[in-house]
Amino acid sequence: MIRLEEVSKLYGLGEAMTLALDEVTLSIEEGEFVGVMGPSGCGKSTLMNIIGMLDRPTHGEYKFNERSVAKLRTTRQAKIRRDSIGFIFQSFNLLPRLTVLENVALPLEYKGVSARRRIKRASEILERVGLRHREFFYPGQLSGGQAQCVAIARALVNDPKIIIADEPTGNLDSASSRLVMELLGEIHKSGNTVLMVTHNPELTRYATRVLYMHDGSIIHDENTKLGEIAPVARRVMYGKPMTSEEDDLAGVSALMSAIPGADEEKPEDTKKKRTRKTKTRRKTTSRRRKVAAK
Amino acid sequence: MSAIVRGNIRMAMSSIKSTKWRSFFTMFGVVVAIVPVLTILSIGEGVKRQITDQVVGLGSDLLTVRPGRLITGENAIAQFNALSGYTTAGNFSLKDYEAVQKVEHIKELAPLSIVPGAITVNDKPIRDTFVVATTEDLPSLTNYKVQHGGFFTDKEYGRRSVVVGRGAAEKIFGEGIPLGRAFEFREDTFVVSGVLERYETAPLSFSADLNNAVIMPYKLAQTIVGGEAPPIYEMLVRPSSEDTADQVRRDVTAALRETRGGEEDFSVVTQAENKRVVNRILTLVTALVSGVAGIALLVSGIGVMNIMLVSVTERLHEIGVRKAIGATRRQIIGQFMSEAIILSCTGGVVGVLLSFVSMYFVRLFTNIEAVITWDAVLLVFGLSLVVGVVFGSFPAMKAARKDPIEALRHE
């Protein structure tokens, strides 16, 4: 249902130009739970945004349900976002001035559903995520986990085929993360396609397929069994290869070293990576270390 | 009302509530523009009605003879002459009056003349009153009614009895009915034999306000002034019937031209013409004020636009979220347009309400009976709606054209 053919995305101009996606070719079928992993700045979010029609590719072709997205009018794209795609963001992105119920019902409002049916449907969905009793709260009054569940309810309210989750557990503690992931797993089991960006290899348990990205390219694509951590991701968690100081400077993460065959690309990668900021690199590496320590 | 429109209104209300002061001042700009427009329109309408009432009351056959020429040309407005209405005025002499008296088919005739001098009671001068000399025909010519006592007759002018207006009665004698009481004028004593009913003259009309006047027979005035008769500033003439009206008008004109040395430096006007002159003045004033108010409305519209632009910038992230969950451009436009329209229309409603208050003050301090018509209310409300639509559309379009991902990144 989703086909990307040599899709590239460039940001900026001239000297400041960065390549966020580098000729990515990808196809995702209905019913898959795709986990996307990779260091920060590798283009995971850009990929999600392009698939979610929030962003346009600079080059290449994106076909959604066999139709070229570039040729769709903005209104049509908005309607696809409304009816077929549900977004879940790391920072929840609930509207603070609307109640939980209103937030969840908003996509229905844009669809033109009557107020009574809107409330009924939104309540049902909130029931499903276990937050019926928080209907009239404002997002500011919820815990992170609750807010993310509300965001999931909002994403689900129009029965979309695809759920796009960009680090849905990034801002949550482990208990809330578990809750959110169980919900996403359930959604997947009921037949939806789920795309999820994550930094946590543990979460690949829920996926049926894991993509590893680096510098705007998909460098590894593997199918995994539900309930099992993806093989490559597991190697990151339990395997020996920790990143060395040298690797750190070169911006190569543990994940990279864990991927078989990635070694050959390494010298080339290093050159590219040198232009990146050291700061982000440090952050990612330390986070990975923490994960590894678990 | 569709679900989206209602949602937009609800969102707009909550957004306005969250920026109370900002919204209040934006609205205030609209109010400031609306109130003068509606006030001036209402004053104009009120004055027109009062003049019409007066014309109907006086009877359309009444002729007013005044010194000076009336400009009746259609381009009086363009020349900005409507405000003067009459060119340099002079006076009529006794000779003119006597000439008019000789004209046939006149039923009633009253000269109006101000007798110079101050009124005193027990050597205390009374201010703001004046003495008018006229004939016994005045009450029926002007619809003045005598409330107490009776009007004087021309034959009995030697009795030195006068009639006072209601306002003058209060100023000279204080409370109570001053029938039979006396006052001094030009070293002579006069006795009040009648008191007029309170009478409101229409604003901007050319007839004198006799509320504050002491009225005495013209013949009496002639004797007390001595020598030259007091100059006449206006003569009221009523022809004997509708059929003779034109003839009387011609004859009066001819008679006066003769006594004034062949020059037509006076005018004989019907009530309809009087009304037209007043209307012309009103139209001019209304046009001028509307122009100023239009600029005020434009400025208030720019205020609305600025605030909406700020609002759009502040809420870029929200716009991004809304777009991500499926709001179309049109729906985003709808949301911001509703906000602008609610702002300007609330301003419109408040403006209309405040105009009623200002109307009350106009009524309190002037003799203008301003009338707020539904037409005027609809007009100003429509104007505020237009301001909202016109000045809200640019920010709304700006919001709708934002790229969803760029808007989302904006925190």
Is A87 in Cβ contact with B325 (below 8 Å)?
Answer: yes
Q: What's the pLDDT at B76?
A: 42
Nearest to B326 among A49, A78, A95 (CB): A78
Site from B11, B18, B319, B325 to mutate, A interface, most A CB atoms within 10 angstroms: B325
The chain-wide mean pLDDT, for chain A, equals 83
Residue B262 falls in which region: left (phi positive, over 0), alpha (psi -120 to 50) or beta: left
Mark yes or no for CB contact A82/B318 under 8 Å: no
Range with lowest mean pLDDT among A46-60, A69-83, A242-256, B131-145: A242-256
Query: Touching check for B316 and chain A: CB below 8 Å?
Result: no
Helices (H) and strands (E) in chain A, counts: 11, 10
pLDDT given for residue A280 in this prediction? 46
At A158-196, the pLDDT tens digits run 999 999 999 999 888 888 899 899 999 999 999 999 999
pLDDT reading at A275 higher than 50: no
Residue A126 lies in a domain: no
Residue A166 lies in a domain: yes
Q: Closest Cα to residue A181, out of A243, A226, A248, A132?
A: A226
Q: Is residue A82 within 8 angstroms of chain B, CB to CB? A: yes
CATH code where residue A258 lies: 3.40.50.300
Q: Look at residues A121, A175, A166 and name the one whose alpha carbon lies nearest to residue A143.
A: A175
In a domain, A236, yes or no: yes
At B7, the amino acid letter reads G
Chain A touched by B364 (CB under 8 Å) = no
As a whole number of angstroms, the distance between CA A250 and CA B216 comes to 114
Region A81-101 average pLDDT: 93
Strand partners, A197: A36, A166
Inspect the interface and report whether the beta carbons of A95 and B408 lie closer than 8 Å: no
Query: Which residues of chain A are within 8 Å of residue B3 when distances are taken between CB atoms?
Result: 109, 112-115, 118
CB contact under 8 A, B324 and A54: yes
Q: Mind telling me how many Å the CA of B362 is from chain A's nearest CA?
A: 44
A185 within a domain of the structure (yes/no)? yes
pTM, full prediction: 0.73
Question: Which of B18, B330, B403 lies nearest to residue A97, judging by beta carbons?
Answer: B18
Q: How far apart are CA A197 and CA A167, in angstroms?
A: 5
| Whole-angstrom distance, CA of residue A286 vs CA of residue B6 | 49
Say if residues A212 and A220 touch (Cβ distance below 8 Å).
Answer: yes
Domain count, chain A: 1
Please indicate whether, in this complex, the C-beta atoms of A110 and B318 are within 8 angstroms of each other: no
Say whether A82 and B2 touch across the interface (CB within 8 A).
no
> Within an 8 Å CB–CB cutoff, is residue B18 touching chain A?
yes
- A119 reaches B (C-beta below 8 A): no
* Residue A271 placed within a domain: yes
Nearest Cα of chain B lies from the Cα of A11 at a distance, in angstroms, of 12
Residues of chain B in contact with residue A95, where contact means CB-CB under 8 angstroms, are 318, 321-322
Q: Residue for token digits 């002159």?
A: B277
Residue A210 lies in a domain: yes
DSSP-derived letter for residue B86 is B
- The residue written with tokens 């009793």 in the block is A133
Torsion angle (degrees, nearest 10) of CA B52, B58, B60, B61: -160
A121 within a domain of the structure (yes/no) = no
Whether residue A283 is predicted with pLDDT greater than 80 in this model: the reply is no
Residue (of A249, A265, A238, A217) closest to A36 by Cα position: A217
Locate B108 and state its tokens.
């009633």
C-beta separation of B317 from B325 below 8 A: no
- Closest CA in chain A for residue B8: A109
Residue A164 resides in a domain: yes
pLDDT, residue A15, reads 83
The dihedral region occupied by B174, where left means phi > 0, alpha psi between -120 and 50, and beta the remainder, is: left
Q: Does B124 touch chain A (CB under 8 A)?
A: no
Q: Tokens at residue A132, please?
A: 């019926």
Query: B15 CB near a chain A CB, below 8 Å?
Result: yes
What's residue A226's pLDDT? 86
A154 and chain B: CB distance < 8 Å anywhere? yes
Please report, in tens digits, the pLDDT of each residue of chain B (411 residues total): 566 788 788 888 888 888 889 999 999 999 988 998 888 888 888 888 887 887 777 777 888 888 877 655 544 443 334 444 444 457 888 888 888 888 888 888 999 888 888 888 888 888 888 888 998 888 888 877 888 888 888 888 888 889 998 888 888 888 888 888 888 888 888 999 999 888 766 565 556 677 888 999 988 888 888 767 788 888 889 998 888 888 898 999 999 988 888 887 888 888 777 777 778 878 888 888 778 888 888 999 999 999 999 999 999 999 999 999 999 999 999 999 999 999 999 999 999 999 999 988 888 888 788 888 898 899 989 999 999 999 999 999 999 999 999 999 887
What stretches of B142-231 adopt beta strand conformation (E)?
Answer: 146-149, 161-164, 182-185, 188-196, 213-217
Cross-chain Cβ contact B327/A52 below 8 Å: no
Residue with tokens 């020996």: A240
Q: Which amino acid is at B292?
A: V
**pLDDT for B87:** 47
Whole domain around residue A185: which residue ranges?
2-84+160-293
Beta strands (DSSP E) in B261-331 are 266-270
Report the alpha-carbon distance of residue B110 to residue B136 in Å, rounded. Answer: 8
Q: Would an 8 Å CB–CB cutoff place B329 in contact with chain A?
A: yes
Burial of B350 (0-12, 13-18, 19+ CB in 10 A): middle
pLDDT for res A247? 58
Q: How far is CA B103 from CA B98, B252, B262, in A?
A: 9, 6, 17
| Cross-chain CB nearest to A112 (options B2, B325, B329) | B2
Residues A97, B321: C-beta atoms closer than 8 Å: no
